[in-house]
Amino acid sequence: MRINWKRLVSGALLIASLSLILFGCSDMGSAPEAKAPTKAIGGVVSNPDTGLPLPGVTVTAYAVVGGVTATTPLSTPASTTTNVNGKYTLYIPENFAGTVAVEASLSGASKVAAKSGKQVSLSSVRRIRAFLPNIKKEQLILPPVMISLATEMVALYVEQNKSGHFTPVNIQTAISVLEMFFGANFTEIPPPSSTGSIVSRAQQDLTVMIRAISQVVSSAGDVATLIVVDSSNMIGLGGKASEINAAINAARTELVASGVLPTAYATTALTTTVTQSATTQVSETLADSVPSAPTGLSGSADSTTATLTWNLVAGASSYLIYRDGVYINSIVPSESPTTTIGYTDTSLASSTEYTYEVKAHNSAGNSASAPVKLTTLPAAKTYTVSGVVTFADGSKIPGVKVTLTGDATGTTTTDAAGAYSFTVKNGTYTITPLLTSLNPASIQVAVANGNKSGQDFISTLTGGGVTTVITNPDGSVTTTTTYPNGTVSVSTTYPNGTVSVSTTYPNGTISVSTTYPNGTISVSTTYPDGSVTTSTTYPNGSVTTSTTYPNGTVISTITYSDGSVITTTTYPNGSVTTTTTYPNGSISGSLVDGYLVSGTVVDNSNAALLGVTVTITDGSYTATAVTGPFGTYTFRGVPAGSYSITPVLAPYTFVMATGITVSTSNVTGQNFTAGP
């Protein structure tokens, strides 16, 4: 068959011409409508029960018109779903001005507060809300909008106390009042990552408080009385202060166990805030205006720390610090007259760029400074400072605790060869062994780009010797055993049936291990000043009449086994006792009935603080203890009552813990973190 190509081409041209006539010659169809410009609004949704990120929930934004939330979504698309980290992003018209309500729709499994008339009770319902008031038309970058139990309580406050009229003033008033419990700027604080540790103290506190209030609200069954301000200007949450504080401590235990909170996290500041808020009248008076934005923000950085300074702003009650767009802390200016203020951000990664922003804050709102970028320096090199502790004859002294002070602090213990070492950066340090009669008593060393070895200490005591093993066979009767000054006793064993009338360890003695087997009778044992006892064990049936540990003694472990009888044990000033155990059947003749109260004291880098004087008192009973090398302290024989605990160690500052109830069992976990 022959194809007439000329006729075929002519036909194709004719069809194309008709198409152009029918549909137009530009784009073969109707032009799509141009999309209206938008601006983003985003944040994180947290679980109202746990305070942790909540994935897979639907989030929608609505305009608030005349104090009433609209029913038609403002956002385009209308809704979005939170990702695995609970994050969401919505888009609203670029020229929008006013207030936005952002709602997260929850599954029936999540318990949140829901409004039913004027009664608001917990049930498995539908939503938690957050509000962003006073958006300006020209404001293209909006602050984060976190959605949590805390922000839902802002909505409930307006509904219960302001007739549900969501004006910017009413919303800001509710935020200002609830900052008493949730902390400054809580509406912008994100929850921690569900797979990582909390970054800032603000996140830690908010997460704990959300868990605690959720628990109290669940128990109350009706949250209306908790959010209402009465005729005396007292908020209902204040009446639940003791329950909230108990729930705070329970939440800390849960979050530490799950790895979300560090073990050093202390609830003292949070419970103190709740206790104070319980007796503080609500003030709904807002500042006349939002403070001006801070100016002059600048800073510097080393390998792990950034230091910021900026000019003070009139009318600012506090300043909010942001790192890489995330709120990390707030500071309150001092009353001392000055023109600038600063903040130090610690625990940063080396060789990393960070962007900082500071907002001036008062009850009317926030104003942000211009951002500043800082890059941390490469990690500083570290060096070793080392030495040995010996007697004059060259014999080594193990088990001596050695402290490091100066540009860094630390503690260590000499090993079996009498050796110690510290890892430090460039700087000036003082090394001091906790043992008397050493020459020198301490050494100052300057580290400059190199290790420092040979920082040795020699005992000046005479008559010293090294006793490796002393064994007393079964049935031995020892009338008097005397160890001269400077003796090192590695192991002393008293087998079954031994009777020891008097044992004396003079100044500078180090006893690594002493064992009294079944049936031992020890009439008197004395450890003079500076003794170091690593382990002492009294097995079943031991009878100890008198044991005295004079000033400066360090005891790592003392164990009294079943059936022991202890008449008197004395620990004078400066003694450090790590562990004392009294098993079943022990009889203690001079110990006071009561309970143990214990905890740990660390600095703001989570390093243990040695030598902190800790006082416990209820007004009628007072006792003191001193923290050991691991920062721990213990009060024994504390009677039932309600106590306050105060640590003291210059130049550190601490917040006193109050309302500590000792009732029917020991109280642990009374931890403190030092301020700068």
Go through 45-80 and write b for each residue having 16 or more CB atoms within 10 A of its CB, e for each that does not.
bbbbbbbbbbeebbbbbbbbeebebeeebbbeeebb
Q: Are 244 and 212 a contacting pair, CB within 8 Å?
A: yes
514-515 and 488-493 beta bridge pairing: parallel
The pLDDT confidence band at residue 536, using thresholds 50, 70 and 90, is low
Domains of the chain are 38-278 (2.60.40.180), 298-375 (2.60.40.10), 383-459 (2.60.40.1120), 466-588 (no CATH), 595-673 (2.60.40.10)
Provide the pLDDT for residue 222. Answer: 59
Mean pLDDT of 91-99: 95
Q: Are 670 and 597 a contacting pair, CB within 8 Å?
A: yes
Q: Are 490 and 467 a contacting pair, CB within 8 Å?
A: yes
Instruction: Report whether pLDDT(473) > 50.
Output: no
Provide the pLDDT for residue 217. Answer: 79
- pTM for this predicted structure: 0.55
Which amino acid is it at 39? Answer: K
Nearest 5°: the CA angle 381, 386, 392 is 170
Angle between helices 268-278 and 201-220 (to 10 degrees): 50
Coil, helix or strand for 171? helix
Nearest to 403 by CA among 429, 367, 375: 429
Q: Highest mean pLDDT range out of 4-13, 457-466, 566-575?
A: 457-466
**Range name among 92-96, 192-196, 197-201, 228-232 with the lowest pLDDT average:** 192-196
Instruction: Report whether pLDDT(538) > 80.
Output: no
Nearest to 434 by CA among 390, 458, 401: 401
Which residue's structure tokens are 């004078």?
572
Q: Are 458 and 480 a contacting pair, CB within 8 Å?
A: no
pLDDT digits (tens, 9 = 90+) for 182-206: 988 899 999 887 554 456 888 899 9
Provide the pLDDT for residue 492. Answer: 56
Provide the pLDDT for residue 337. Answer: 62
pLDDT digits (tens, 9 = 90+) for 320-339: 999 988 888 888 887 666 78
pLDDT digits (tens, 9 = 90+) for 609-661: 878 899 999 888 888 888 876 778 888 888 888 999 999 988 888 888 888 99
Which amino acid is it at 64? Answer: V
The pLDDT confidence band at residue 493, using thresholds 50, 70 and 90, is low
Instruction: Report whether pLDDT(572) > 50.
Output: no
Provide the pLDDT for residue 101. Answer: 96
- Which two three-digit tokens encode residue 374? 């800082």
**Hey, how many other C-beta atoms are within 10 angstroms of the C-beta on 268?**
20
- Which two three-digit tokens encode residue 317? 């009650």
User: Which percentage of the chain shows pLDDT scores above 70?
Assistant: 69
Residues near 624 by Cβ (< 8 Å), separated by ≥ 6?
613, 614, 615, 616
**Range name among 113-122, 208-217, 433-442 with the lowest pLDDT average:** 113-122
Provide the pLDDT for residue 119. Answer: 35
Provide the pLDDT for residue 106. Answer: 83
pLDDT digits (tens, 9 = 90+) for 248-277: 999 999 988 888 888 888 988 888 888 888
Give kind and range of the element (H or E) at residue 110. none
Rounded to whole angstroms, how far apart are CA atoms 37 and 51? 34
The pLDDT confidence band at residue 126, using thresholds 50, 70 and 90, is low
Mean pLDDT of 415-419: 89
Higher pLDDT, 88 or 107: 88
Bridge partners, residue 400, by sequence = none
Rounded to whole angstroms, how far apart are CA atoms 621 and 514? 35
Averaged pLDDT of the chain:
77
The pLDDT confidence band at residue 78, using thresholds 50, 70 and 90, is very high
User: Which percentage of the chain shows pLDDT scores above 90?
Assistant: 33
**Hey, how many other C-beta atoms are within 10 angstroms of the C-beta on 517?**
20
**Range name among 129-143, 374-388, 564-578, 657-671 with the lowest pLDDT average:** 564-578
Nearest to 659 by CA among 645, 675, 640: 645
Provide the pLDDT for residue 512. Answer: 47
For the chain, the distance separating the N- and C-terminal CA atoms, rounded to the nearest angstrom, is 99
